[in-house]
Homo-oligomer: A and B are copies of this chain.
Amino acid sequence: MVHHVVPATAETVHWGYFSRTLEPILSIASGDLVTIETLTHHAYDDHARMIAGDAGAESVFHWTKDQKNVDRRGAGPLDASTYGRGSGEGLGVHICTGPIFVHGAEPGDVLEVRILDVQPRGSRNPDFAGRAFGSNAAAWWGFHYKDLLTEPRPREVITIYELDASGAQNWARAVYNYRWVPQTDPFGVVHKIIDYPGVPVDHCLVMENHSILKGIRVPVRPHFGIIAVAPREAEFVDTIPPGYFGGNIDNWRIGKGGMMYYPVAVPGALFSVGDPHASQGDSELCGTAIECSLTGTFQLIVHKRDELGGTPLADLHYPLLETADEWVVHGFSFADYLAELGEKAQREIFTKSSLDAAMRDAFRKMRHFLMTTKGLSEDEAISLMSVAVDFGVTQVVDGNWGVHGILKKAIFTADDPVRVV
């Protein structure tokens, strides 16, 4: 068993898209450990706290008139011919580290991802030693955006949070907020709203309000918004809508100690991690979490298709979370939007968001899990879901909206050896 280390640099990340065509940055064996640095795409909301002095972040975010280290940001055209925002058009926003090729992983297999450790990335600016920072953007894609009470309407607001980099304190607090004002990127494009990731924010143009959310401690729940295998359907896939391949699930339970299972769609799985969060509430209401760079340690294990029968992974066609106490299924407005919505899927999905559909998908997946893994009849599964499974709103901001279903392991006692896995 080898332990690999992957720093986040301009060479090890892909920004805003998944692609089965990407060259792997690393190849590993099933069972290997890998420590992976991930960077939040919101770091430039406060360069001083989240980029300055950090060689990896500086490498990824470097953007001057003459040089943009990571040019493509999003699954859109390289020449920005659709909206003129920039290369990739920001159709997909998350910085992902990877992809990693896992030897032996083939379509039909299941990739198990054990999240062994998650640590915040401390500020490398000596002025902020010992602290880590994150940004929460209440943005145009948020659930609240067209439904504001107070002027000016609409508006986008960035709130910077800080937490203890050592992990000794389990809470974050707000440092300040500011209203987004038009920002001109180094190539001269004006971004009136937050329509392209990694645009440098000029703090001379914004007004920082430092007396906010006083006395409020936000519980820290470090997790990865994105853990993904590469989807099979399209060459370039926007990182925003989650799907069968995982991706931007944005469930805060996908943290340390968790185990995720994904159906492998392409040879080698092509595993990527990104969208690190310090904290998020169920729904991710305003569009983002506390977006905060994190480093994770993972063990990746391939389960071959023909060895899955009779295990909890039998016939797994969706991303499944196992924690110490729970099984969690993830429903989406469309279980497999890339296949279901056809060629225009990557545009259409943003017009068809619905919790009602996501609830239906979560119901179907939990029923499948109970019938397949636990051997229940359909009548048993449906009754049990109604009296003992909790469904919650994962997110209402990622195009393919999410509802999760939580099944407590303790429900299954040891006195029925046939049914207990």
**Chain A residues engaging chain B, CB cutoff 8 angstroms:** 136, 138, 142-144, 147-150, 157, 159, 161, 172, 174, 177, 212-219, 279-290, 354-356, 359-360, 363-364, 367, 371, 376-380, 382-393, 396, 403, 408, 410-416, 418-420
Q: Is the interface of A mostly helix, strand, loop or mixed?
A: mixed
A382 touches which of B144, B378, B412, B416 (Cβ 8 Å)? B144
Task: Decide: A386 and B214 in contact? CB cutoff 8 A.
Answer: no
Which residues of chain B are near A288, meaning CB under 8 Å?
386
Task: Decide: B411 and A216 in contact? CB cutoff 8 A.
Answer: yes
Which residues of chain B are near A392, meaning CB under 8 Å?
282, 390-393
Which residues of chain B are near A177, meaning CB under 8 Å?
379-380, 383
Known: A144-B363, A150-B378, A392-B393. A383 touches B159 (CB 8 A): yes
In the complex, which residue of chain B has the Cβ closest to the Cβ of A378?
A: B150
In the complex, which residue of chain B has the Cβ closest to the Cβ of A155?
A: B379
A93 to B225, CA, bound (A): 43
Which residues of chain B are near A217, meaning CB under 8 Å?
410-411, 413
Task: Decide: B419 and A388 in contact? CB cutoff 8 A.
Answer: no
Task: Decide: B214 and A418 in contact? CB cutoff 8 A.
Answer: yes
The interface centre, meaning the residue of A149, A219, A290, A383 with most chain B CB atoms within 10 A of its CB, is A383
Known: A214-B419, A279-B387, A356-B354. A382 touches B286 (CB 8 A): yes
Which residues of chain B are near A416, meaning CB under 8 Å?
214-216
Known: A354-B356, A356-B355, A367-B149. A285 touches B386 (CB 8 A): yes
Which residues of chain B are near A280, meaning CB under 8 Å?
386-387
> How many Å from the CB of A75 to the closest CB on chain B?
25
Which residues of chain B are near A150, meaning CB under 8 Å?
377-378
A386 touches which of B215, B286, B388 (Cβ 8 Å)? B286
> How many Å from the CB of A384 to the closest CB on chain B?
6
Which residues of chain B are near A285, meaning CB under 8 Å?
363, 382, 385-386, 389, 391
Besides the contacts A214-B418, A215-B416, A281-B386, what 16 more A-B pairs have beta carbons closer than 8 Å? A143-B363, A147-B360, A148-B378, A149-B378, A157-B379, A161-B387, A174-B380, A213-B383, A214-B416, A215-B414, A215-B415, A216-B412, A281-B388, A286-B382, A355-B356, A392-B392
> How many Å from the CB of A356 to the closest CB on chain B?
5
Task: Decide: A412 and B215 in contact? CB cutoff 8 A.
Answer: yes
> How many Å from the CB of A385 to the closest CB on chain B?
5
> How many Å from the CB of A354 to the closest CB on chain B?
6
Q: List, sorted by A's number, 13 A–B pairs whose CB atoms are closer than 8 Å.
A: A147-B363, A212-B380, A213-B376, A213-B384, A215-B416, A216-B416, A216-B419, A217-B411, A218-B384, A279-B388, A281-B391, A285-B386, A355-B393
In the complex, which residue of chain B has the Cβ closest to the Cβ of A148?
A: B378
In the complex, which residue of chain B has the Cβ closest to the Cβ of A150?
A: B378
Task: Decide: B382 and A138 in contact? CB cutoff 8 A.
Answer: yes
A380 touches which of B144, B213, B396, B411 (Cβ 8 Å)? B213
A175 to B169, CA, bound (A): 47
Known: A214-B416, A215-B413, A419-B214. A386 touches B289 (CB 8 A): yes
Task: Decide: B386 and A138 in contact? CB cutoff 8 A.
Answer: yes
Which residues of chain B are near A172, meaning CB under 8 Å?
387
A420 to B217, CA, bound (A): 12
Known: A214-B418, A359-B396, A411-B218. A391 touches B282 (CB 8 A): yes
A418 to B359, CA, bound (A): 40
Task: Decide: B382 and A157 in contact? CB cutoff 8 A.
Answer: yes
> How many Å from the CB of A112 to the closest CB on chain B?
26
Which residues of chain B are near A367, meaning CB under 8 Å?
144, 149
A371 to B177, CA, bound (A): 17
A389 to B301, CA, bound (A): 34
A58 to B63, CA, bound (A): 78
The interface centre, meaning the residue of A138, A213, A413 with most chain B CB atoms within 10 A of its CB, is A213
